[in-house]
Structure 1
Amino acid sequence: MPPMPMPSSARAALCAAALLAAAATPAHADGGGAAWSVAPASGGGTRPAKDGRPYFYAEGTPGTVLQDTVTVTNPGPKPRTVSLRGADAANTGSGALSVTPAKGAPKDTGAWITFAKRQVKVPPRTRAEVPFTVTVPTGALPGDHPGAIVASGGGRTAGVRLHLRIGGPTLAALTVERVKVDKGTGRITYDLVNRGNTVLTPRLAVHAEGVFGTLIDRAPRTLPVELLPGRRVSLTEPWPDAPALDSVDVRLTATAPGGARAEASGSARFVPWSVVAGGTALLLGLAGGAFHLVRRRRRSPDEPEPEATPQERQDGRRELAGAGAGARPITGTGTGTGTVTGTGTVTGTGTVTGTGEGL
């Protein structure tokens, strides 16, 4: 493709992750032959160099047609037939880069790529150069449109990255969402979402406060993720020395070139439940023992007195006998008069004298 100026932000992002995972190593030919490979043609595109380019880069406006060339090298002793196709690039849920599968239909950059030959036969120890074009639709949105060229042959697949930027307003924006702290392991999980239209290489800072002060204060560091426009990835942050007992607030701050910045927080209450369960069982045991002890000492008023033992009954008889031996006579005299009136009159007077003993 014709040389074009490359923005510094895009250059930094591309240098961080130039190739797709599928293109990390060349594909190996079947039958134990030497490896065959696919790469951008040397001396072309926006980054001409003697040792070739690690990826394709193109920039244009809607409605333009961009040109470049892909090289397929076969160093083996047998001819190789390789098929070429265009694919869209995407992020997996964990942040890795992937491309649309062979059976899937690309909808973005991959659909705009047209090869001079979709299938090429490469003689032994030679290379074949295949021109291709990228036709930018008139209604294409501005910003970054990552894609790839994928080659398949001999049961193997390899690919090379194609980064397309369409002219127009660009926006670098992201959000941090769904921050959670695992109370068992302390692991922090969160989502990063690219809300803009440029590829982002985010940086993350982590801060955590507990009841007694700061627990984590990690400086910003670059994440091993190239976040494509409109994509969401779920990431984790380890915390091996999380507290056993504390109330913690965690704050994540994400930044990226171009002025993108976002923050989000999460909280967790760390409680050693095994210790709490053991202490609770001990307290319940002590409370139960105290309850039974008090119940035995506090007898009900309606409960009958316990029957006296033979010794207690014998001691009682001795006390009664001793009291009877000291009895004194009691003497008393009384006089009374009574009158009854009826049809007749009866008058009587009597005197009663008695002597008795009392205890």
Structure 2
Amino acid sequence: MARPLLSLVLPAAALVAAVLLPSGPALASASTLAGISGTVAPIAATDGASWSAGPADGPRRSGRPFFEYELDPGATVEDAFAVRNDGARALTLRVYAADAFTTREGTIDLLPASEQSVDSGTWVELDRSDVSIEPGETVLVPFTLTVPTDARPGDHPAGIVTSLLSEDAEAQVQVDRRLGSRLYVRVAGELAPSVTVSDPTVSFEGMWNPLALGRLEISYTLENTGDTRVAAVGASTVHGPFGVAPVTTGAEQLPEVLPGSTVEVRQLLDGVAALAWLGGAITVIPTSVGIGAAQLDTVVAPFGTAAVPVATLLVLAGLAFVALATVLLVRRSRRSRSAV
């Protein structure tokens, strides 16, 4: 039997993407993700098309920001997706389900219609594949979600999408504007949340002013290698030899990572002294998301990098040159006086 999961995640997001489909020699593409709160979120276009989409209200559920279920393998649940025409003209929209993933930039997106889903996006059977909606009208799209009997335990993220194709005759392209809602399925069973963190890539940028401090850039990847959604907090610390002049980023909230996805993390530390050699570490504290959420083992990845004080060395080299030149001139002057 289906049971709504407690919401322990960030506010819901509507998925809005513009994907160009071939319609001639010119091609381009773009995609964005817009956050929403509430059951529906509007999308408007310059051509007057405007619509909202989200989980439908019912006798025992209302105001849901997204779909979320906890189901046993082989279980089935029925629900509905609501689409409302907020514009002044009639609309015909495609409706389909697709797998969700976390982009390397840290946003959550859905596979485009041109890519085949392989997970929970294939578990959703919609009552229809398109909807025609008059201005001001709301249409419900019933669907059935069936979990395979051999589904692995854990989270299976997906989403339901509405899509409007519009053609740009001058650019010879078709623009696919999409709006949808996330759909999270937690399959019951023994869970194994886990993450991996890559070795950090570190670079130091000094200043030409020998009295100024530099900047350290740290990059690494956070991969969800487990079977649940994962959130994490990360911090980076750097110091000179023997721990002198420490600098830290403090705790930073990292993006939520869906199972099987990887995000790139970049952190900057200003005010770092060029002390010839810098050591430090990144610390990532991951937490599984959803029912039974728990903190995972902390991951610590040390690093070291050269931080040569170029400006200071140039100043010292200049002073040494002046000192050497002065000594040579003094010796030559003494020799000249001795010769006389």
TM-score (norm 1): 0.71
1:59-117 superposed Cα distances (whole Å, 9 cap, x missing partner): 21222222210011013332211111111111111212121112111111112221110
What's 2:240 paired with?
A: 210
Whether contact under 8 Å (1:80, 1:154) holds in the other structure is no
1:158-186 superposed Cα distances (whole Å, 9 cap, x missing partner): 11111111111112222222213221131
Whether contact under 8 Å (1:172, 1:259) holds in the other structure is no
What's 2:65 paired with?
A: 54
Q: 1:239 to 1:233 in 2, by over 3 A?
A: same
1:270 aligns with 2:307: yes
What's 2:26 paired with?
A: none
Q: CA RMSD in A?
A: 3.0
Query: Matches of 2:129 and 2:83 in 1, distance apart?
Result: 12
SS in 2 for 1:110: helix
SS in 2 for 1:236: strand
What's 2:295 paired with?
A: 259
SS in 2 for 1:101: coil
What's 1:222 paired with?
A: 253
Query: Matches of 1:292 and 1:214 in 2, distance apart?
Result: 41
What's 1:38 paired with?
A: 53
What's 2:93 paired with?
A: 82
Whether contact under 8 Å (2:98, 2:161) holds in the other structure is yes
Query: Matches of 2:69 and 2:120 in 1, distance apart?
Result: 11
Q: 1:105 to 1:154 in 2, by over 3 A?
A: closer
Q: 1:292 to 1:100 in 2, by over 3 A?
A: same
Amino acid aligned to 2:57: S
Q: 1:44 to 1:243 in 2, by over 3 A?
A: farther
Amino acid aligned to 1:142: P
Query: Matches of 2:283 and 2:192 in 1, distance apart?
Result: 19
Greater length-normalized contact order (CA 8 Å, ≥ 6 residues apart)? 2
* 1:290 Cα offset (Å): 6.5
Whether contact under 8 Å (2:51, 2:84) holds in the other structure is yes
Specify which structure has the higher proportion of helix: 1
Count of aligned positions: 289
Q: Structure 1 segments of 4 or more deviating over 3 A?
A: 217-221, 277-298
SS in 2 for 1:140: coil
1:200-224 superposed Cα distances (whole Å, 9 cap, x missing partner): 111123333323535134553432x
Whether contact under 8 Å (1:62, 1:140) holds in the other structure is yes
* 1:143 Cα offset (Å): 0.5
TM-score (norm 2): 0.75
1:294-329 superposed Cα distances (whole Å, 9 cap, x missing partner): 89999xxxxxxxxxxxxxxxxxxxxxxxxxxxxxxx
Amino acid aligned to 2:55: P
1:121 aligns with 2:132: yes
Q: 1:194 to 1:183 in 2, by over 3 A?
A: same
Query: Matches of 1:215 and 1:222 in 2, distance apart?
Result: 21
What's 1:187 paired with?
A: 217
Amino acid aligned to 2:186: R
Query: Matches of 1:218 and 1:28 in 2, distance apart?
Result: 39
1:123-166 superposed Cα distances (whole Å, 9 cap, x missing partner): 22111001112222222211011111110125332111111111
Q: Which moved more, 1:276-285 or 1:52-61?
A: 276-285
Whether contact under 8 Å (1:30, 1:154) holds in the other structure is no
Give 1:227-238 correspondences, 5 Å limit. Answer: 227-238=257-268
Question: Which runs of 5 or more residues in structure 1 are unaligned?
Answer: 299-359
Whether contact under 8 Å (1:202, 1:255) holds in the other structure is yes
The sequence identity of aligned pairs, in percent, is 30
Query: Matches of 1:36 and 1:64 in 2, distance apart?
Result: 32
Amino acid aligned to 1:85: Y
1:217-253 superposed Cα distances (whole Å, 9 cap, x missing partner): 4553432x11111222111112121213353222222
Specify which structure has the higher proportion of strand: 2
Query: Matches of 1:293 and 1:107 in 2, distance apart?
Result: 83
Whether contact under 8 Å (2:247, 2:271) holds in the other structure is no
Query: Matches of 1:236 and 1:128 in 2, distance apart?
Result: 43
Query: Matches of 2:203 and 2:64 in 1, distance apart?
Result: 44
Whether contact under 8 Å (1:87, 1:106) holds in the other structure is yes
Query: Matches of 2:164 and 2:301 in 1, distance apart?
Result: 47
2:316 alignment partner, one of 254, 257, 279: 279
Give 1:32-181 correspondences, 5 Å limit. Answer: 32=48, 35-43=50-58, 48-49=61-62, 52-153=63-164, 155=166, 156-181=177-202
Amino acid aligned to 2:182: R
Whether contact under 8 Å (1:86, 1:149) holds in the other structure is yes
Question: Which runs of 5 or more residues in structure 2 are unaligned?
Answer: 17-33, 36-40, 167-176, 206-214, 288-293, 336-340
What's 1:19 paired with?
A: 13
Query: Matches of 2:325 and 2:124 in 1, distance apart?
Result: 80
Query: Matches of 1:231 and 1:77 in 2, distance apart?
Result: 40
